[in-house]
Structure 1
Amino acid sequence: MRTLAFVLPIYNEQDNIPVLYERLSAVAASLADRFTCEFVFVDDGSRDRSLPAIRALRERDERVSVYALSRNKGHQVAVTAGLDVADADAVIVMDSDLQDPPEVAVALIEAWEDGADVAYAKRRTRNDGFFKRMTAGGFYWILSKLARIDIPRNTGDFRLMDRRVVEELRRYPERNRFLRGMVAEIGFDQRAVDFDRDARHAGETGYPLGKMLKLAADGILGFSSFPLRVISALGMILAVGAGVWTVYLAISRMVNPESVVEGWTFLAAGMFLLGGIQMLMLGVLGQYIGRIYEEVQARPLYAFAIAESGPRDPH
């Protein structure tokens, strides 16, 4: 029998964990004749009772593995930690708020058994608010225009990956991680499985606007140098425009001196405009330089405060 690991990042999901476990157990029971399943819970520094809840599950079920990060590191790092410790023929990553229905895992497995190395869940519909749908749609549109690789739209991290893909993903050491882009860059046979995304079962989202913007920046800056090319093009346009304007002013001064307005208002306004554009350019450059600085430090992505896996010691 082949092995299957579910990687489940946890952050303040105490009310969702019991329902998630029941539905995962039902899925595992339907696969029991073909697969040995493991549930890898990675607690990302939860502030509620999530960690005691998953440790209680482990007391009842040896299929449950519990890993707790030493502090909150973010969803992408928590998923990375789960992928690093998962040892299975295939790994399924899904969120723990039940917006990713566990039952869809069966369709992902079928695609894998049919030859796919990656089966990613593509949202046919999503039960989110208007603002979330609008911003998500805008982000994926921008990413599709800027990224150097084809990153599927309307997808998250809900996907199945073959062992070979997981091993390749472990070779990607960057700190500002955008996993769905990294998986797309790896290649192999990747197939979409359509599903209807549910509403969050309980609790509040772990991705408020600030974290969503950070994830969007990781996706765009990590897979596109387009902002740098825009800076170069804009600088060239401004330089040419400034040269033409200087020639025009010089000719106007010589041909018709009376038409030239004396004073510094226009000149000062132009200086402030160019100064603002330069600061914007420096800000974009700073984003890339800051990421280079973080990468060359080569610090560990995470540290485990708790790691409980495998058969439990009865003593």
Structure 2
Amino acid sequence: MLPLLNEAAILRSLTSKLKETLSALTQDWRILFVNDGSTDGSSELLDHLAREDSRLHAIHLSRNFGHTAAVRAGLDYASKDVVVLMDSDGQDDPDAISALVRNWRQGYDVVYAIRFARKESLWKRSLFYAFYRVLAWVSSIAIPRDAGNYSLMDRRVVEQLRLLPESDRYLPGLRTWVGFRQTSVQVERLPRHDVYPRVRLKGLISLAKTAFFSFSRVPLHFFYLLACASALVSLFSISFSLYHKIFTGLAIPGWASVTSVSAFFGAINSLGIAILGEYVARIYDQVRGRPSYIIARHSHHATTEDEDETRNQQHHTLVEELVGLETSIQSMIASDLSMMRTSPS
């Protein structure tokens, strides 16, 4: 499954490479592209590729919802026993899929790629290096370092990810949070096919904020400690000023120092309010309940086998919903009977 944005230049060659790699592993495979509002002709090319091969399926979102929303759409519509998630910019090596599948066949439910030998600029490599290590330090769970989206996930894992309700999603963190048997493989990060990354610096900062605020309370805890330290400093300052006034009869001069300290703590308070506001804004986004994505159309040359698979998947989903409804009704009946037995006659 590949989220995609304006990758028409590499799309055909990437598809050919994926077909070659997957056919060497199994004959039962599908390629699912999620077109996140491309404007460079990728949509038309996906239509053409889907007509050429019924094993290719493309989901076209109604606009650009962002990389994480496209990933969520792909996971929601993936139907095979195992899902390999990778980027469509050519930096995730398709040859590594065989190593992912080999570990899955050994019993692992999640096999994620650890990136090394990145080909980005020095400042970008430094930012990624610092981000992963700071996140590992502050996170409430052990999120692997240098692990991005490129991974293989068993169907059980994908189903659990679908059930998670949050709208702000950092997949490497959620993938770790759901558990199951996990392992990693070392995968070289290939260079981009062009010099224009689809995820800009603003998007990377947004993703980093999502990771920190979704899996850490350290920003809030930091301000608890800072508030305690500020209270101690203030108490010491007041005590010293009173002592000096009582025993010397003189006030302590220092308007500039008092103003500087006040400005410093004012800035700290503003930063604390901003961090608290970030948490509140994410809560607000969550309770609004807007969908993460909207699908405009599909590109898929369906075969009889595909239609049967779709019907079987719909039947499986319906059975799961009915079982859940039956369980809920039984719980309600048991609760009512218990209340009737305990109520006074």
Q: CA deviation at 1:126?
A: 1.6
Q: Across the two proteins, how many residue pairs are aligned to each other? A: 304
Q: CA deviation at 1:14?
A: 1.1
Mark the structure with the bigger radius of gyration: 2
How far, CA to CA, are the matches of 1:260 and 1:227 in structure 2? Answer: 36
Aligned position for 1:231: 223
Please list the CA deviations of residues 115-164 of structure 1 after superposition, one character each: whole Å capped at 9, or x if unmatched: 11001111132222111110001001101110011111111100000000
Q: Is the 8 A contact 2:51 2:300 kept in 1?
A: no
Amino acid at match of 1:61: D
Check if 1:243 corresponds to 2:252: no
SS at 1:236's partner residue? helix
Range 304-313 or range 90-99, more displaced: 304-313
Given candidates 50, 72, 89, the residue that maps to 2:42 is 50
Please list the CA deviations of residues 32-68 of structure 1 after superposition, one character each: whole Å capped at 9, or x if unmatched: xx34111101011112111111111111111111111
Given candidates 87, 101, 111, the residue that maps to 2:103 is 111
Amino acid at match of 2:269: Q
TM-score normalized by the length of structure 1: 0.93
**Structure 1: runs of 5+ lacking an equivalent:** 1-6
Amino acid at match of 2:292: L
Q: CA deviation at 1:310?
A: 5.5
Aligned position for 1:26: 20
Range 121-130 or range 165-174, more displaced: 121-130
Name whichever structure is richer in helix by fraction.
2
SS at 1:67's partner residue? strand
Aligned position for 2:343: none
Please list the CA deviations of residues 174-231 of structure 1 after superposition, one character each: whole Å capped at 9, or x if unmatched: 1111001000000000010111111012352122211111111111110011111001
How far, CA to CA, are the matches of 1:258 and 1:239 in structure 2? Answer: 24
How far, CA to CA, are the matches of 1:206 and 1:252 in structure 2? Answer: 63
How far, CA to CA, are the matches of 2:116 and 2:255 in structure 1? Answer: 58
Aligned position for 1:15: 9
Amino acid at match of 2:9: D
Q: Is the 8 A contact 2:241 2:251 kept in 1?
A: no
How far, CA to CA, are the matches of 1:75 and 1:248 in structure 2? Answer: 56
How far, CA to CA, are the matches of 2:228 and 2:49 in structure 1? Answer: 61
Given candidates 258, 278, 285, the residue that maps to 1:287 is 278
Aligned position for 1:147: 139
How far, CA to CA, are the matches of 1:274 and 1:156 in structure 2? Answer: 38
Q: Is the 8 A contact 2:6 2:38 kept in 1?
A: yes
Name whichever structure is richer in strand by fraction.
1
Aligned position for 1:167: 159
Q: CA deviation at 1:23?
A: 0.5
Amino acid at match of 2:22: A
How far, CA to CA, are the matches of 2:115 and 2:62 in structure 1? Answer: 33
Q: Is the 8 A contact 1:15 1:203 kept in 2?
A: no
TM-score normalized by the length of structure 2: 0.85
Amino acid at match of 2:109: D
Amino acid at match of 2:236: V
Aligned position for 1:3: none
How far, CA to CA, are the matches of 1:181 and 1:248 in structure 2? Answer: 48
How far, CA to CA, are the matches of 1:167 and 1:310 in structure 2? Answer: 26
